[in-house]
Amino acid sequence: MKLDFNPNKLSKTIRRLLFLAMLFAQFACEDIIQVNVQNQSKKIVVDAFINTINKIQTIHITRSIGYFDSSRTEPPVTNAKVAIIDQTTLPGKLFVFTHEKNGKYHFTPNPLTGDTFTIGHDYALLIVIDQDTLLSLSRLHPTAKIDSIRLVDVEGNGPPINTTGKYIELIANDIKGKGDFYWIKTFRNDSFLNSIDQLNISPDMGNTSIKEDGQLFIYPVRYSKVNDFSRSFKSKETVRIEIHSINGLAFAWFNLIANENQNGGLFATPPINIFTNIVPYNETKKIGLAGFFCMSAVASASVVIP
């Protein structure tokens, strides 16, 4: 099966098609303009994607900046107290994150002392900033197993595949049973392919609208989104794929980001605020919040291009 029936993507495709159609009219045009908007609320942004990889885990806390601020330097929040609590164990096991620098809070897992996260457990993130306490919850779901990474030779003959050469295909099966969500990340020589167009998220085997489940990920997930078709893989390069388990809320969150990123043109939908799962637990004043907390189990495989 080589098609994806995600309705969100479908409407996006339609929007692009129609946009193309409008340009057919030849009279349409786009101009970059100066708009005077002020960033009314500097929101607290929590970036807390924690996984089971045995490496330093980071929670990044910053404040949002103006939309046209090209410096991209988000002011860090350095005075927070940050911890994750295992809610399944009694008493709740505490994982304390300490401030390293620039709003980055670190925790180093240690399998020897048992300071690791456990699949199936529920975790709570607690952040105290000044007098305010923020809370978020996430379950650590199991993730899919990777069978292998297959190399494929492809002839580049126009978009989307422009370059002839070696590409990869992820051979992995979805976990049996409905309601699994994954975030699949490709690393090329240890650098994450983080373009929004390659954001590869998948409900079950890649589609919620069909009955099948527990099988090979569908083609767009296992092939289209794991490659950067503008650059084929070269000899000696290392490719690593990680499958992170996420939850339905995280899937919806990622989906909105991807949609919002492609919004525009004649058939644009009104801009929206991406929701957050960080909530005020007790707040002394109304504070704007953004970001996401998600616990992930990770399956990983890598291959060196011959």
Partner 1 sequence: MGYTTAQNFTLNGYIQDSINRETLTKVQIIATDSDGKELRTTTNGYGFFSLTLSKGSQQISVLKPGYLSIKETLLLDKHLNRNFYLSPEAESLDLVTILANQNNNVKSLDMSTQTISGQTIKKIPSLLGESDVIRSIQLLPGVSTVGEGSSGFNVRGGSIDQNLVLMDEAPVFNSAHLFGFFSIFNPDAVKDVELIKGGIPANYGGRLSSTLDVKNRDGNKRQFQANGGVGTIFSRLTIEGPIAIPEKNLIRTPRKIPARSSFIISGRRSYIDYLAKPFLNSNLTGSQFYFYDLTAKANYSYKRDNLFISTYIGDDVFTAQGLFGVKWGNSTVTGRWNHVFNKRLFANFTYYYSRYRYNLEFMNRDATFNWQSYIVNNSTKADFNYYLSPKNNISFGFQTTHYRFIPGKAVAKSETLDLKFGLPDRYALESAAYLSNDWNANGRFSMRVGIRFSQFSYLGPGQVYVYNRIPGKQGVLDTTYTTKNGEVVVNYFNPEPRLGFKFQIDKTSSIKGGYNRMVQNLHLISNTTASVPFDVWQPTTNNIKPEIANQWGLGYFKNFGQNGEYEMSCESYYKSLQNQVDYIDGATLLLNEYLEADLLNGIGRAYGLEAYVRKATGNFTGWISYTLSRSERKVIGINDGNWYPNRFDRLHNLYVVAQYKLNKKWDLAANFVFSSGTPSNFFSGQYSVQGYVIPDAGSNARNNVRIPNYHRLDISATYTRKKTKKYKSDWVFSCYNIYNRRNPFSIYFSTNYQGKGQNAAIQFSVIGSFVPAISYNFTF
Binding to partner 1 (CB under 8 A) within 74-93 occurs at: 74
Q: Does 279 bind partner 1 (CB under 8 A)?
A: no
Amino acid letter, residue 51: N
Q: How far is the CB of 108 from partner 1 (least distance, A)?
A: 20
Taking every pair of Cα atoms in the chain, the longest distance, rounded to a whole number of angstroms, is 67
- Of the residues 155, 209, 235, 285, which one makes contact with partner 1 according to CB under 8 A: 209
| 191 counts as binding partner 1 under rule CB under 8 A | no
Task: Provide the residue type at 273 as one letter.
Answer: N
Looking at beta carbons only, is 3 or 112 nearer to partner 1?
A: 3
- Which residue's entry shows tokens 């009104």? 270
What gap in Å lies between CA 7 and CA 206, rounded to an integer?
Answer: 12
Q: Least distance from C-beta 142 to partner 1, angstroms?
A: 21
Tally the residues of the chain: 306
Instruction: Tell me which residue has tokens 């199936």.
Output: 120
Residue 244 DSSP symbol: E
Query: Which residues inside 29-58 make contact with partner 1, applying CB under 8 A?
Result: 29-35, 37-43, 45, 47, 49
Q: Is 152 in the site for partner 1 (CB under 8 A)?
A: no
Assess 213 for contact with partner 1 (CB under 8 A).
Answer: no
Minimum CB distance to partner 1 smaller for 49 or for 93: 49
Q: Which of 91, 111, 114, 158 binds partner 1 (CB under 8 A)?
A: 158
Interface mask (CB under 8 A) for partner 1, residues 222-261, using x and -? ------------------------------x---xx-xxx
Provide, rounded to whole angstroms, the least separation between the CB of residue 11 and partner 1: 5
CB-based contact 46:136 (threshold 8 Å)? yes
Among 113, 270, 285, 306, binds partner 1 (CB under 8 A): 270
Quick one: which of 89, 98, 164, 194 contacts partner 1 (CB under 8 A)? Answer: 194
Least separation in angstroms between residue 129's CB and partner 1 is 16
Looking at the DSSP bridge assignments, the partners of residue 191 are: 188
Q: Is 198 in the site for partner 1 (CB under 8 A)?
A: no
Interaction residues for partner 1, span 91-120 (CB under 8 A): none
223 touches 202 (CB < 8 A) = no
Shortest Å distance, C-beta 243 to partner 1: 16
If one asks whether residue 25 binds partner 1 (CB under 8 A), the answer comes out as yes
For residue 129, state whether it binds partner 1 (rule: CB under 8 A): no
For the beta carbon of residue 202, count every other beta carbon within 10 angstroms: 26
Measured CA to CA, the distance from residue 64 to residue 60 in angstroms comes to: 12
- Rounded to whole angstroms, how far apart are CA atoms 5 and 295? 27
Distance CA 150, CA 165 (A): 14
Min separation Cβ 18 and partner 1, Å: 6
Q: In this structure, are residues 289 and 80 in contact, taking their beta carbons and an 8 Å threshold?
A: no
Closest-CA residue to 297 (of 178, 142, 177): 142
Tokens standing for residue 295: 């616990």
| CA within 13 Å, CB half, 41 | 9
Cβ proximity to partner 1, 48 vs 83, nearer residue = 48
Contact between 14 and partner 1 per CB under 8 A: yes
